[in-house]
């Protein structure tokens, strides 16, 4: 499975990839819900962290960032 396949578009999740850069996107009614979705994309069965182990790849956590947007 490719890392971009961890998304569930029916739940407002998406993944954008370019070379070795990834962007996890989540849409929801609150920032808390979107942050929870992104976290779940990483920790769930078949998620980002499992992908890293099965592909002998390591995420650089110090390069992670989070950005939240609201309509207000």
Which pLDDT belongs to residue 10? 93
Q: How far is CA 2 from the centre of its chain?
A: 13
For the chain, the domains span 3-56
pTM, 2 dp = 0.84
Report, in this order, helix, strand and coil percent for the chain, each rounded to 5: 40, 15, 40
Which pLDDT belongs to residue 71? 79
What mean pLDDT do residues 23-46 have? 93
| Token pair for 16 | 């954008």
CB atoms within 10 A of CB 44: 13
CB atoms within 10 A of CB 61: 6
């Amino acid at each position: 499975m490719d890392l971009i396949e961890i998304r569930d578009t029916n739940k407002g999740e998406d993944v954008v990839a370019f070379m070795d850069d990834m962007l996890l996107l989540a849409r929801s009614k609150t920032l808390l819900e979107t942050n929870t979705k992104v976290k779940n994309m990483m920790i769930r069965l078949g998620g980002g962290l499992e992908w890293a182990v099965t592909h002998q790849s390591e995420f650089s956590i110090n390069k992670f960032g989070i950005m939240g947007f609201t309509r207000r």
